[in-house]
Amino acid sequence: MEVFLEQLINGLTIGSFYALIALGYSMVYGILKLINFAHGDFFALGSYIGYTVLVFGSAFITSHFGLWGGMIAAMLVAAFCVAFVGVVVERAAYRPIYPAGRLPAVVSALGASIFIQNTIMVIWGPRYQAYPASLIPNIHIQLGNIHITLLQIVILVLSFFLLGILYWVIQKTTFGAAIRATALDKDTASLMGINFNRVIFFIFTLGPALGAMTGVMVGMYYRQISFTMGWNYGLKAFTATILGGIGNLPGAMFGGLILGVLEMFGAAYISAAWKDVFVFLILILVLIFRPTGLFGEKVAEKV
């Protein structure tokens, strides 16, 4: 039972990372029908920027903010910088290519991904970097026989808070309805007075910002970061997107959480070495029996 609960919490933590990254893929796909391969690298870039903020601001952070304040500061700076990069990438690498069709845009996205990845390598070096242990809150909590850290709980709460905010914006506000409408039918959405470019700006700031904040949380959680981490997490998050039904935002959230939990249970009860096999096996089974993903159900449309 202890293993079950610990793995459930671990799974939800990792799953919420996947979910936050998956939202970025899903939003861009929903609006532009483009798989934004650079999104995983936005996440990695955020992790590195957060690392730099912590390392160079360590004296200031410990004396003024405290450790939790340092974490929040690193997340906000990373979110802000990466949101800016997101908009620049959209303007430079995607917008000029939209008229050429979807495939060239995907190739351009791959190019943007490799470009960002190599930029990270040039700036921070090809070796693993470690988030400084002295700047990460290290408080252990024991509930019965379950061992977790306070950091883990904070990350979990923060992730769910961010997911909750986004869910509310997308599902409950008129601007969220405008985004969903644009994803369904761009021309008709513009007849409502919705400015397409504003929607694009929103998804290319919010998606990368969420990715960057996740990057900082991953750095805090695992301590070790590498310039290729965008690919690993990007692939898992993309899988989560497909699992939930691509373009469906609540689906991306649940897909991420389900994937994280499955991965951790697979690691605990089957074999840690085989956890990815387990995850992708589930994905394949879902795609065979529900090709639109778990939540990708379309409403029957009367013509």
Partner 1 sequence: MAPLLVVEDLYISYGAIEALKGISLYLDEGEIACVLGANGAGKSTLLQAISGIVPIRKGTITLQTDVLNNVPPYEIVRKGVSQAPEGRKVFSTLTVEENLNLGAYTRKKKTDEVTEAKERVFTLFPILKNRRKQLAGTLSGGEQQMLAIGRALMSTPRLLLLDEPSLGLAPILVNQIFTIIREINEQGTSILLVEQNAHKALGIAQKGYVLENGLVATSGSASELQSNQKIQEAYLGGSALKNNK
**Contacting range for partner 1; rule: CB under 8 A; set: 49-57, 128-136, 188-196, 257-265:** 188-196
Asked if 298 and 248 count as a contact pair (C-beta separation under 8 A), the reply is no
Helices 229-244 and 249-265, packing angle to 10 deg: 110
**Out of 149, 190, 232, 292, the residue judged to bind partner 1 by CB under 8 A:** 190
Q: Which is nearer to partner 1, 101 or 193 (CB)?
A: 193
**Out of 139, 185, 274, 277, the residue judged to bind partner 1 by CB under 8 A:** 185
Site membership for partner 1, residue 302 (CB under 8 A):
yes
Give the separation between CA 57 and CA 135, rounded to whole angstroms.
10
**Out of 195, 224, 271, 284, the residue judged to bind partner 1 by CB under 8 A:** 195
Site membership for partner 1, residue 192 (CB under 8 A):
yes
Give the separation between CA 88 and CA 244, rounded to whole angstroms.
29
Q: Residue 125: helix, strand or coil by DSSP? A: coil
Site membership for partner 1, residue 99 (CB under 8 A):
no
**Out of 1, 103, 133, 191, the residue judged to bind partner 1 by CB under 8 A:** 191
Q: Which two tokens stand for residue 168?
A: 């509310």
Site membership for partner 1, residue 189 (CB under 8 A):
yes
**Out of 174, 273, 288, 289, the residue judged to bind partner 1 by CB under 8 A:** 174
Q: Which two tokens stand for residue 42?
A: 């936005």
Contacts of 215 by beta carbon, 8 Å cutoff, 6+ apart: 42, 43, 44, 45, 46, 47, 48, 49, 50, 78, 82, 225
Distance of closest approach, residue 256 Cβ to partner 1, in angstroms = 21
Q: Which is nearer to partner 1, 2 or 185 (CB)?
A: 185
Site membership for partner 1, residue 228 (CB under 8 A):
no
Contacts of 12 by beta carbon, 8 Å cutoff, 6+ apart: 156, 257, 260, 261
Asked if 200 and 31 count as a contact pair (C-beta separation under 8 A), the reply is yes
Give the separation between CA 10 and CA 105, rounded to whole angstroms.
36
x-marked contacts with partner 1 along 272-301 as a string, rule CB under 8 A: --------------------------xxxx
Q: Which is nearer to partner 1, 138 or 188 (CB)?
A: 188
124-143 positions binding partner 1, by CB under 8 A = none
Cα–Cα–Cα angle for 198, 202, 207, nearest 5°? 155
Q: Which is nearer to partner 1, 187 or 289 (CB)?
A: 187
**Out of 44, 79, 89, 178, the residue judged to bind partner 1 by CB under 8 A:** 178
> Tokens 């290319």 — which residue?
204
Q: Which is nearer to partner 1, 58 or 292 (CB)?
A: 292
135 alpha carbon, distance to own chain's centre = 23
Binding region for partner 1 (CB under 8 A): 174, 177-178, 180-181, 184-185, 187-196, 298-303
